Structure 1
Amino acid sequence: MTENGNIPSAELQGRWWTWAASEPEATSPVADADGRVCGRNQPPDVWFLAGTLGGRVVRACEIPNGRPIAVPVVNLVGDHQGCAAFMKGAQGTVALDGKPVKPEAYIDDSIMVEGVQGNQVTGEEGRFTGTGCGLWVQLPPLAPGAHSLKIHGRSDDFYVDVDYALTVGASSV
């Protein structure tokens, strides 16, 4: 973690891509149509949310209390040239409970990713190294209760448009 509590960009991207590639299409959080698999394979220290494989989706997701959230607005794993081209056209907006949240640009990180067979996210099985880039948001733990998170991202012809209805669990005493 950095001094502001965020996970450093290369670590975050490697962990997120591994999480996103840890399921085949049928149970992929990125291909999820409504949020029913948002809790699969979540690490204990952060809650990952997913964009889409392109397009619009509305999801509902329950998040444990006390968990920071990390989500890409629009992202790519590839090589240096692919990331440079992707980031030239990358733009996005995020709103949490109606208030804008400024995404951070992660431009050119060398990352380690591990994917399962049949994952649609990377298309690669096993461990590999790539270049991660994108616009990202890391949020501190949200207060218990209902929250709205709207993510809109684009790079050239690829776009992501996700509306999350988040419910954060009550504090455990």
Structure 2
Amino acid sequence: MNGGIGRAGLVGMMLAALVGCGGSSGDSDDSAKAKAKAGAGARTTAAASESSVASASQDRLSSDVLQSRWWTWAASEPEATNPVADEDGRECGRNQPKDVWFLAGTFGTRAERTCTVPGGVPLAFPLVNLVADPADCAEFMSAAEGSAVLDGEEIDAETSRGETISVDGVAGNPVTGTGERFTATGCGLWVQLPPLRSGKHTLEIRGRSQDFSVAVDYALTVESA
């Protein structure tokens, strides 16, 4: 997720102060809803080690569903308790769904977070991502890169060059800045992991596109299923 005017970390370029890049002072409220950047970083390569991952055969969310759900989750809390603005991981469990555990990027800063994750639940997160219009996504993705390293092993990232997604949030959230539901184009570099084995894990997330970059180091404790 991702910085921009203000903070939309996860939103790399938020429009109006959200995550990412906002529009100019002449942008309308509608255009502001359509541009949000977020991030966590992304380059790609090798699969996670078997010692860290329970199974690689878990069902995966489609790109449009993943992005719609992640952005809605990221925009579900005001700044004081928002997982993207979280500095140490204390807010990582906010509003988590039961079938997947989302991790957040930042608003363009570096963070070190400690987070306890329930066992038996897959994880999903962006390396770097954006909500905007098709043209903005094309430009953003032309420079997007990043990496995710789990327990010392680099893991694969998926590239989304642009899908239509729907985002909902609470009023005043720092990611989209609006409590209204809107439809836009979502793009980015994304990682989906099957449930991790119980115990302690490290996860390093890095992402960059143009002048926006994200760096998050997670110390994860996975509970027994």
Please indicate, yes or no, whether the TM-score normalized by the shorter chain is above 0.5.
yes
Q: In the alignment, is the contact (CA less than 8 A) between 2:109 and 2:214 conserved in 1?
A: yes
Are positions 1:75 and 2:152 aligned together?
A: no
Write the letter of the residue equivalent to 1:99.
Answer: E
Summarize the alignment of residues 10-159 of structure 1 with structure 2, pairs less than 5 Å apart: 10-159=64-213
SS of the aligned residue for 2:73 comes to helix
Structure 1: how far apart are the matches of 2:105 and 2:167? 18
Question: How far is 1:170 from its partner?
Answer: 1.7
Identity in percent: 60
2:214 maps to which residue?
160
Structure 2: which amino acid aligns with 1:101?
I
Counterpart in the other structure of 2:37: none
Q: Is the 8 A contact 2:115 2:221 kept in 1?
A: yes
Indicate the SS of the match to 1:107: strand
Structure 2: distance between partners of 1:66 and 1:148: 17
Q: Structure 1 residue 94: deviation in Å?
A: 0.7
Post-superposition offset of 1:124:
2.2
What is the CA–CA distance in structure 2 between the aligned matches of 1:4 and 1:116, rounded to whole Å? 31
* Aligned-partner Cα distance in 2 for 1:6–1:95: 20
Q: Any stretches of 5+ residues in structure 2 without a counterpart?
A: 1-56
How many residues matched?
Answer: 169
Runs (4 or more) in structure 1 with deviation over 6 Å come to none
| Deviating more after overlay: 11-20 vs 124-133 | 124-133
Supply the distance in 1 between the matched residues of 2:169 and 2:140 (Cα, whole angstroms).
22
TM, length-normalised to structure 1: 0.95
Letter in 2 for 1:20: A
Q: CA deviation at 1:90?
A: 0.2
Paired residues of 2:58 and 2:194 also in contact (CA < 8 A): no
Kept after mapping to 1: 8 A contact 2:149/2:205: yes
What amino acid maps onto 2:222 in structure 1? V
Q: Tell me the SS of whatever aligns to 2:85.
A: coil
Distance in 2 (alpha carbons) for counterparts of 1:87 and 1:67? 29
Give, in whole Å, the separation in 1 of the partners of 2:61 and 2:186.
Answer: 14
Alignment partner of 1:5 out of 55, 59, 63: 59
Which whole-Å CA distance do the structure 2 matches of 1:5 and 1:133 have between them? 21
C-alpha displacement of 1:82: 1.1
Q: Which has the higher strand share?
A: 1
Q: What is the deviation of 1:4?
A: 5.5
